[in-house]
Structure 1
Amino acid sequence: MPATTRRQASSLSPRVVREMTPSPRYKGVLKNSGFNFLPDGKSFHVFGMMSRELELIVCCVGVFVSFSLFAVMQEDVYEAQGENGGERFSMTFFALVFERAVNALCALLAIFVFGGSGYKLPLKEIFHSGSSQMLAMAASNEALRYVSYPTQVLGKSCKMVPVMLGGLVLGGRKFSRFQYLSVAFVTFGVFLFNYGKASSSSGKSASVTENSTYGLSLIFLSLVFDAITGGLQDKVKTSTKVLNPSHRKTAKPSAHESMLYTNLSGAIVALVFAILTGQITSGFAFCAKYPKVLKAIVCYSLASAVGQNFIYHTITSFDVLVLTTVTTTRKIFSTVYSVFRNPNQTLTNIQWTGCFIVFAFLGMETAEKVHRSRNINAARGRAKLV
């Protein structure tokens, strides 16, 4: 704290000083030891040793590699097992308990080492947000039992559909013509991709086709929970400022606090569902029978934890638009890689057309957001000059 600030604070009562200055619950091992990686007290300062350009490259590569590995391992979990491919992993809540717990433990370790924000946090609201996020992922993961990974990725690309419907029906929001056009074409592209499959007489293909409508319903349910999660996360931000009235402008959970409590709440709810559905015992039994499934769960859980760290740092240090661009590119790569990795997922020309339409409009949407953001920043710059 600067000397001038200390002199001003000294004239105030001790109670006022305590209210003005956030008191971290735990400063972290590095700060307490005097070995300070974190001169600003907010972010892991190994990145501070890099130029901004190199830092951005590291973040982008980290997100891309982590979640590409996550996608591959997740697909392996839900692959048919056994000599005749007669068994499939169906213990979705069991896998989510493991993944969320690993994420929470990594976040707890980071807080132990680097410290927290010191602000009062709305744990009840964070619990609701984390639970909703977990249910969104549960529906998305469960869909992999009925549809291919490319279908799941493209289906999740329709995220704007429930958001737009909810905004129109509940909030009276207005959307631009481009947004309506984008949603229409992305939905059309997903339709082409899913229903442009080549007909097959094999029992396996028939089973997947028969259940594809149910799989798409699960994806849509996941999108609905995504929309709910977005609203709950906004509520968390507002409640944090209310709980810290002396620091309304700066009060927010640290990246690792958000990661800890969100994943912990998701793990608790997933554990309850896993116990009620008997997936704990059946999950361990399946993994004991097919150890490579357990290996895949462990790998994608660790990849998720690493990826979340890069995501939070990218959002904090750069811009959400940067993250959107990286994740969209990663989805394209994962989809194409999945197709070439699995010979059974050969796409027809109609499906490739649907895939192209979806990612073309996602790219256009990202470009439109970048353009709009630059216009807003330019307008703010002109306003300051005036």
Structure 2
Amino acid sequence: MASNVQVLADSWIHLLLNLLGYGTIIIPGYFLIKYIKNSQYIERAGNGIFSRIILTCVYGNTYDKIVEDTIQAQKPRKERSSFSDCSQLIFCFLGLQVSYLTWGVLQEKIMTEEYTDLSGSIARFKDSQFLVFVNRILAFLLAGTYLMVTRQSRHKAPLYKYSYCSFSNIMSSWCQYEALKYVSFPTQVLAKASKIIPTMIMGKIVSGKKYEYYEYLTAVLISMGMTLFLLTSSETHKQSAAATTVSGVIILIGYMAFDSFTSNWQGELFTQYKMSSVQMMCGVNLFSCLFTSVSLLQQGTYFTSIEFMFRYPRFFWDCIILSICSASGQLFIYYTISCFGPVVFVIIMTIRQGLAILLSCIIYMHPLTLTQVVGVLVVFGAIFLRIYCSHRIKQINARRAAGIDSAKV
């Protein structure tokens, strides 16, 4: 009992230390941005490099945004066919599955495997925040390099707006890992399977989105089907058997709130500023690198982790491969959100959990229970229902638009 209390206290202390580290950037940044806006700096800014950096961080390229939006409004938009939408969705689905299934295997290997150096000494790496930093720094460098060597549309969003989803992404990752220590297996499954519902709720809060009745219905059906499938999986029952505590529920709610905010905020930025997926990737990872590096330096684990990386060559290459998988996965995340929105992205990632178990059952010939089969049928039935209803509504809207145009003529 005493050890459990100590572990819980360590978790909250670790969270407090992380927040203090992030606060050393967020709080001064908030007051600085507020001061710049209140002082009407944009009216007296010059053409120097320093002024351009401040304007880009705080205001973005708002004048260019107005000009480009006017030009784009004059160009007729090309309507995508159903086949094109389907092909694009399959591409996103496969890209996300391959990237994050590989990433999950490598992450588990790094956190559980013992590494041996040239002298024969054995050690295990334990700092998951450093892995987040390595993933983010490589993704930032790759995105930044790509932006420099290719021609991109003018970036219009104020840079500070990326900090919101960067912070929420870091916090959701921390909550996800910590919650598993303090909640029971059924609670874990229910939370993972029902992420679509809080994502839709957050969409209404962040963007004021309105969803059709069939979207709510299919969200509930997918959550129910995934819950049936995951709860009866012999593979996932091997996970933590911790009992649910109040702290665990609070952390779990925090994970779902932060995670749903991240995808919805990114979707809102795509809608408002029309940036490319690589520009989004670069901006989000810039702040993620900033937050995690400051926290690691303040806690004194940055240089010890670097030393571990160069002392154990296998760990070094595992980190590089893990970071490449993470970077490719991020590209697919931002591309999916920009094309189909946060709800479709969450549906794909929710199905990924069940797909991993289903593939394990097929490869290792584990029998599927009747409940699992029912769960799979409910999930895919809900997906096909969602596609059918979406297609029907598009047809109805197109007919109404054609009727209005003919009436005007």
Q: Is 2:145 the counterpart of 1:109?
A: yes
With 229-238 and 219-228 compared, the bigger mean Cα shift is at: 229-238
Equivalent position SS for 2:240: helix
- 2:241 corresponding residue in structure 1: 209
The code of the aligned residue for 1:258 comes to: M
- C-alpha distance in 2, partners of 1:169/1:312? 20
- 1:255 corresponding residue in structure 2: 277
- C-alpha distance in 1, partners of 2:353/2:305? 28
- C-alpha distance in 1, partners of 2:249/2:99? 26
- C-alpha distance in 2, partners of 1:260/1:270? 15
Q: Is the 8 A contact 1:139 1:218 kept in 2?
A: yes
Q: Is 2:89 the counterpart of 1:67?
A: no
Sort the Cα spacing of 1:135 and 1:75 in 2 relative to 1 into closer, same or farther, 3 A.
same
- 1:270 corresponding residue in structure 2: 292
Q: Is the 8 A contact 1:287 1:294 kept in 2?
A: yes
- C-alpha distance in 2, partners of 1:324/1:284? 34
Alpha-carbon offset, residue 260 of structure 1: 0.3
Q: Is 2:335 the counterpart of 1:335?
A: no
- C-alpha distance in 2, partners of 1:372/1:292? 53
Q: Is the 8 A contact 1:133 1:225 kept in 2?
A: yes
- C-alpha distance in 1, partners of 2:87/2:278? 19
1:212-242 deviation per Cα after TM superposition (whole angstroms, max 9, x unaligned): 777776554322112322453365457x6xx
1:40-91 deviation per Cα after TM superposition (whole angstroms, max 9, x unaligned): xxxxxxxxxxx979984766654443333223323433446589xxx97642
- C-alpha distance in 1, partners of 2:184/2:171? 20
Q: Is the 8 A contact 2:182 2:243 kept in 1?
A: yes
Alpha-carbon offset, residue 358 of structure 1: 5.0
Q: Is the 8 A contact 1:97 1:271 kept in 2?
A: yes
Q: Is the 8 A contact 2:135 2:323 kept in 1?
A: yes
Pick aligned residue for 1:118 from 124, 131, 154: 154
- 2:262 corresponding residue in structure 1: 229
Equivalent position SS for 2:194: coil
1:287-326 deviation per Cα after TM superposition (whole angstroms, max 9, x unaligned): 578765554432232012223334555666x655986786
Pick aligned residue for 2:331 from 296, 306, 309: 309
**RCO higher in structure (CA 8 A, sep ≥6):** 1
- C-alpha distance in 1, partners of 2:300/2:396? 54
- 2:11 corresponding residue in structure 1: none
CA RMSD of aligned residues (A): 5.2
| Unmatched 5+ stretches in structure 2 | 1-62, 69-82, 117-122
- C-alpha distance in 2, partners of 1:81/1:145? 22
Equivalent position SS for 1:209: coil
Identity %: 25
- 1:35 corresponding residue in structure 2: none
- C-alpha distance in 2, partners of 1:365/1:327? 16
- 2:322 corresponding residue in structure 1: 300
Alpha-carbon offset, residue 92 of structure 1: 2.5
TM-score, with structure 1 as normaliser: 0.60
With 66-75 and 176-185 compared, the bigger mean Cα shift is at: 176-185
Alpha-carbon offset, residue 135 of structure 1: 2.1
Alpha-carbon offset, residue 127 of structure 1: 1.6
Q: Is 2:128 the counterpart of 1:128?
A: no
Pick aligned residue for 1:161 from 197, 204, 228: 197
Q: Is the 8 A contact 1:101 1:267 kept in 2?
A: yes
Alpha-carbon offset, residue 114 of structure 1: 0.8
Pick aligned residue for 1:77 from 101, 105, 110: 110
Q: Is the 8 A contact 1:91 1:282 kept in 2?
A: no
- 1:201 corresponding residue in structure 2: none
Equivalenced residues, count: 323
| Unmatched 5+ stretches in structure 1 | 1-16, 23-50, 199-203, 241-250
1:313-369 deviation per Cα after TM superposition (whole angstroms, max 9, x unaligned): 5666x65598678656655433323566799x9987656655665565455445544
1:98-157 deviation per Cα after TM superposition (whole angstroms, max 9, x unaligned): 111111111101101113322432111122222222322333355577899999787434
Q: Is the 8 A contact 1:93 1:279 kept in 2?
A: no
The code of the aligned residue for 2:256 comes to: L
TM-score, with structure 2 as normaliser: 0.58
